[in-house]
Amino acid sequence: MILQSILLGSALLLEIPTGMLGDRIGKKRSIVLGVGCALLAWIPWFLATDVWTFSIVFVLLGASQAFISGSDQALLYEILASKGRQKDMQKTYGMYLAMSTFGFALAGLIGGFLAMEQTLAEFMRLYAFSAAAQIFAFILFLSVREPRLPASDVQIAPAERRILFTALHVLRSNGGLRRIVMLSVLTAPFSVVLLTFFQPYFVLSLVPTPWFGIALFLSSLAASGSKMFAHRLEAMLGMEWASFISTVFPGILWVLMALAFHPVVAVLLFILSDAGGNLRDPIFADYMNRHIPSSVRATTLSAISLITSLYLLLMQPIVGMLADVDLRYAFFFIGSIIIVFAFLLRIRPSHPENESALPTP
């Protein structure tokens, strides 16, 4: 947990500077730097024999996360915009996230068979496979072309200070974006907490041990599917209901987990909770990008990511203290917060959606 805190701390410190750098030098170059940091992290990882050497790994991983955060989403949106396909953002971003989640599920399943004895030699071989896969992905990504920004957008951000000012102005002055960000942050589904707490929840629910891994694999597949088909929710129900259902549904499932401790029900609720918590990502990514100008897109998205991280950093210790008393209290607390803010900040057609996002000269 100390190493995870080091990762989170380095990512938070670098979130805004790397976002500004992405808008300055280009989103692709920012992602290249991020993947480069992740690849460099393998060097101390293979050599480490103490926590201090491992801390270097997690600093580099935090930097990698910061470089990529915002820039990948921004680059994807701008590639689509350059082809006049902004309306496909939900579908495309959902597919992007779904493939990542499916890769996580598949790697976990394969890794379980390749490390049956759980020896250090087996783990080192898995790490080597992981490093090789990242190197291949890095080479493949270099073939991606970043579209040129319109001349009007380039002139908006002549310096880093101007980039940050413009990004903060976008968040402060655009009522539609501000409401979407508040809704997204305050109804965060606590996915990391779910992955941390599902094991003690299964123990209390008397779920057989083999089902721990099976449930995690199935939940990852369900999460992939929810990300892949999230765009269809808005197509069927419209923006108001799609945003409401994607935010309130995880809250309802948290409350149900606080009430149900049957082995079959526990597994089903966990799978649904993981899928429901991932349903919102493509939807909100699309909504946010509609309000953000290209020249400060990575910086603005990094600022939003920073706000979300700070909120979770504040809330997760409270959830942990409640779980120490009774796991049901923690689940009910999370569910109640999500449901309350899903209703209070619900997006309606009458709310502003196309306000000017740029400061006046």
**Which is it for the CA torsion 294, 296, 299, 300, positive or negative?**
negative
CATH code (residue 193): 1.20.1250.20
Mean pLDDT across the stretch 68-75? 82
**pLDDT band with cut points at 50, 70 and 90 for residue 350:** low
Report the candidate in 164, 147, 158 with the shortest Cα–Cα distance to residue 19: 164
Task: Give per-residue pLDDT as tens, 222-267.
Answer: 888 888 788 788 788 888 888 899 999 999 999 999 999 999 999 9
Percent of the chain with pLDDT over 90: 27
Question: Could you tell me what percentage of the chain is helix, strand and coil, using 3-state DSSP and rounding each to the nearest 5?
Answer: 80, 0, 20
Is residue 132 one of the residues assigned to a domain? no
Surface-to-core class of residue 107, CB atoms within 10 Å of its CB (0-12 exposed, 13-18 middle, 19+ buried): middle
**pLDDT band with cut points at 50, 70 and 90 for residue 318:** confident
What Å distances lie between residue 28 and 74, 99, 128, 147, CA to CA? Answer: 10, 20, 26, 10
Task: Give per-residue pLDDT as tens, 323-348.
Answer: 989 999 999 999 999 999 999 998 87
Q: With 60 as the cut, is the pLDDT of residue 361 above it?
A: no
Mean pLDDT across the stretch 115-138? 87
Is residue 178 one of the residues assigned to a domain? yes
Surface-to-core class of residue 239, CB atoms within 10 Å of its CB (0-12 exposed, 13-18 middle, 19+ buried): middle
Q: With 50 as the cut, is the pLDDT of residue 320 above it?
A: yes
| Domains in the chain, number | 1
Contact indicator for 258, 273 with CB cutoff of 8 Å:
no
For the chain, the farthest-separated pair of C-alpha atoms sits apart, in whole angstroms, at: 65
Task: Give per-residue pLDDT as tens, 180-196.
Answer: 888 989 999 998 889 88
Is the pTM higher than 0.75? no
Give kind and range of the element (H or E) at residue 287: helix 263-291
pLDDT, residue 165, reads: 67
pLDDT, residue 360, reads: 37
Tally the C-alpha atoms within 13 A of residue 215's C-alpha that lie toward its C-beta: 24
From the CB of residue 148, how many other CB atoms can be counted at a distance below 10 Å?
11
Most trustworthy range by pLDDT among 47-56, 95-104, 140-149, 302-311:
47-56
3-state secondary structure of 68: helix
Is residue 102 one of the residues assigned to a domain? no
Is residue 237 one of the residues assigned to a domain? yes
Tokens of 236: 């069927």
Tokens of 360: 């006046």
| Residue 312 belongs to domain spanning | 155-352
Is residue 297 one of the residues assigned to a domain? yes
Is residue 84 one of the residues assigned to a domain? no
Task: Give per-residue pLDDT as tens, 277-314.
Answer: 888 888 888 888 787 777 677 777 777 877 887 888 78
Helix boundaries (H) for 142-262: 151-154, 160-173, 175-186, 191-204, 210-228, 230-259
Is residue 322 one of the residues assigned to a domain? yes
Is residue 185 one of the residues assigned to a domain? yes
